[in-house]
Amino acid sequence: PAGSHVRALVIGTGYGGSVAALRLARAGVAVHMVEMGMTWDTPGADGKVFANTTTPDYRSFWLRTRTKQPLSNFLGFPLDKDVPRHTGILDAEDFAGITVYQGRGVGGGSLVNGGMAVTPRRENFAAILPTVDAGEMYSTYYPRANAGLGVTSVDPAWWESAACYQYARVGRKHAQRSGFPFVFVPNVYDWEYMKQEAAGAVPKSALDGEVIYGNNHGKKTLQKTYLAQAAATGRVSVSALHKVTSVTPAPSGGYTVAVDQIDTTGVTLASKTVTADKVFFAAGSVGTSKLLTRLKATGALPALNGEIGKGWGDNGNVMCGRANHMWDPTGKLQSAMPTAGIDNWDAGGAFAEVAPLPTGIETYASFYLSITKTPHRAEFTWNPATGKVDLSWDRAWKQTSIDAAKTIFDKINAKEGTIYRTDLFGAYKIWGDHLTYHPLGGAVLGMATDNHGRLHGYTGLYVIDGALIPGNASVNPFVTITALAERNIERIVAEDF
Ligand code: FAD
């Protein structure tokens, strides 16, 4: 309620926010979470909460009147279409040089992601966050995060014979024939449910292309894991369709937090303020960075340091497809949950996820999302003329990532006598180099904050999401975001509450 006072306020309900809420609540602290997206608990006219990949609708995009699908074209045809403006689940947020895809709703990115739950190799983690004790991370916090998220591995015997993973087996064959290490990747999907889908015993979900616009059944999103446990404490409340617009020191101590309540077309219904003793920024790398950059520049939080907005990267994301021969079909039934990757990080700076292309027809395409070792880092800055936060990303920087991905796919193409697909991202375009799924950084650990996420310049303000990680995680990031949040909140609960 407007005007009320809370002990801990958490901005955002993704991985960092959910970990903070659960651990604070278990320590006896009352927590209020503010989320600008919807709760995603009510079915539409088709009886489903979420739409699938082949038929996006009003539920699928955040406040757009036309879809902006990551794969914009197929066989030369543009796929995008008009939709009613709605607080949909996937935000394609446009900056000058890059489109950043993010989940919107209670559960954040867990609502839209592929569920790939990858713990990086220890030496790579140590290189990315050298001030964090890697021994503690691998003995305590990564295991805690994996357990909390419900991470498990696919049954290899089932995988070998399942029609829906033919695309992944083709990916393995091509990787191994070119001498690349092929690795299985754990996931948060309920594999027993997927087996039942394949057997026709339950409604199809991953096997019906349900992923980037939400998943109706088998995926263990944060709604089913951390947030369910947080709710069970009885100490956590959540306001959905509420957007934090300002945080500033309150005259009587603590912070005044300004929040806009919006309707499902994005129109502001009410502007409210609450006070909080402590505030956790968990709005995601972009959300947290945009808020902090603006609040510093406009005088709401002037004592934040000069590292705010810096160290942002795209995790080196780049996508591509390969055109297979007719004797290498990838299958018309493809599970939307990836299970496999090609690890060429040491030799070529690329880790490629063998991704699904769940179109429902045989495409003869192998599709990949590569995570690459990119040195490029952009900065968020406040633009007083437009009243917006800009990001200094340069599209040309993706060439480093393309070159890294080519260390894998040029070699596979040469070995297999195949070529790249040129129909997936617009006419004659091979590389999906306009986007990222993995925004990281902007309020980097040990730079904008201390070594546990306490913002420099203020007492009682914390960053606890992907903004802490400096631009690159070497693998898909959510397990690392969760594990780092587990590490930081343990210290914060012990020392600050
Ligand atoms: P988020 O999960 O982004 O949560 C931030 C939340 O804050 C959001 O719900 C947002 O709506 C809310 N918010 C923002 N601003 C405000 C505000 N001002 N007021 C109130 N609320 C606000 N990662 C993997 O590891 N494996 C995968 O397989 C994978 N696949 C992906 C596929 C897609 C299509 C996408 C988009 C991402 C994928 N990711 C994957 C990335 C992963 O989902 C993100 O790294 C992760 O969700 C980031 O966690 P976070 O806690 O930093 O923030």
Query: For the segment 401-431, what is each residue's pLDDT rounded down to a tens digit?
Result: 999 999 999 999 999 999 999 999 988 899 9
Mark whether 376 is an active-site residue. Answer: no
Span 151-167, mean pLDDT? 98
What confidence category does residue 440 fall into, taking pLDDT thresholds of 50, 70 and 90? very high
Residues 423-433: tens digit of each pLDDT: 999 888 999 99
Residues 220-233: tens digit of each pLDDT: 999 999 999 999 99
Span 177-203, mean pLDDT? 98
Task: Kindly give the distance from the C-alpha atom of residue 183 to the centroid of ligand 1, in angstroms, as a whole number.
Answer: 25
Q: Are 393 and 100 in contact (CB under 8 A)?
A: no
Residue 309: both structure tokens together:
């907005």
**Active-site option among 197, 210, 307, 353:** 353
Task: Kindly give the distance from the C-alpha atom of residue 385 to the centroid of ligand 1, in angstroms, as a whole number.
Answer: 28
Minimal-distance CA residue to ligand 1 atom 50: 284
pLDDT of residue 298: 98
pLDDT of residue 52: 95
pLDDT of residue 145: 99
Task: Kindly give the distance from the C-alpha atom of residue 149 to the centroid of ligand 1, in angstroms, as a whole number.
Answer: 14
pLDDT of residue 2: 62
Span 240-245, mean pLDDT? 98
Residues 333-360: tens digit of each pLDDT: 999 999 999 999 999 999 999 999 999 9
pLDDT of residue 85: 98
What confidence category does residue 1 fall into, taking pLDDT thresholds of 50, 70 and 90? low
pLDDT of residue 292: 99
Give the whole-number percent of the chain exceeding pLDDT 70. 100
Q: If we measure between CA atoms, which residue out of 434, 444, 433 comes closest to residue 312?
A: 444
Pocket probe for ligand 1: among 19, 102, 389, the residue whose CB has the most ligand atoms within 8 Å is 102
* Exposed / middle / buried, residue 48 (Cβ in 10 Å: 0-12, 13-18, 19+): middle
Span 427-455, mean pLDDT? 97
Span 421-447, mean pLDDT? 95
Mark whether 5 is an active-site residue. Answer: no
Domains, the chain:
1-153+186-198+210-314+377-389+433-497 (3.50.50.60)
What confidence category does residue 76 fall into, taking pLDDT thresholds of 50, 70 and 90? confident
Span 120-133, mean pLDDT? 97
Span 363-383, mean pLDDT? 97
Q: Which of 158-162, 273-277, 356-360 has the lowest mean pLDDT?
A: 356-360
* Exposed / middle / buried, residue 99 (Cβ in 10 Å: 0-12, 13-18, 19+): middle
What confidence category does residue 73 fall into, taking pLDDT thresholds of 50, 70 and 90? confident
Residues 23-41: tens digit of each pLDDT: 999 999 999 999 999 999 9
pLDDT of residue 175: 98
ipTM: 1.00
**Which atom of ligand 1 has the smallest separation from the CA of 105?**
9
Pocket probe for ligand 1: among 19, 22, 35, 239, the residue whose CB has the most ligand atoms within 8 Å is 35
Alpha carbon distance 93, 113 (integer Å): 16
* DSSP element (H, E) containing 381: strand 380-383
Residues in the chain: 497
Ligand 1: lining residues by beta carbon, under 6 Å: 11-16, 34-37, 101-105, 108-109, 112-116, 212, 243-244, 282-285, 287, 291, 437-438, 465-466, 476-478, 481
Minimal-distance CA residue to ligand 1 atom 53: 284
Instruction: Quote the mean pLDDT of the chain.
Output: 97
Q: List the Cα angle 53/435/405 in 5-degree steps.
A: 100
What confidence category does residue 458 fall into, taking pLDDT thresholds of 50, 70 and 90? very high
Amino acid at 220: K
Span 149-178, mean pLDDT? 98
* pTM of the entire predicted model: 0.98
Cα distances from 167 to residues 51, 211, 291, in angstroms, run 23, 17, 41
Task: Kindly give the distance from the C-alpha atom of residue 108 to the centroid of ligand 1, in angstroms, as a whole number.
Answer: 5
Task: Kindly give the distance from the C-alpha atom of residue 10 to the centroid of ligand 1, in angstroms, as a whole number.
Answer: 15
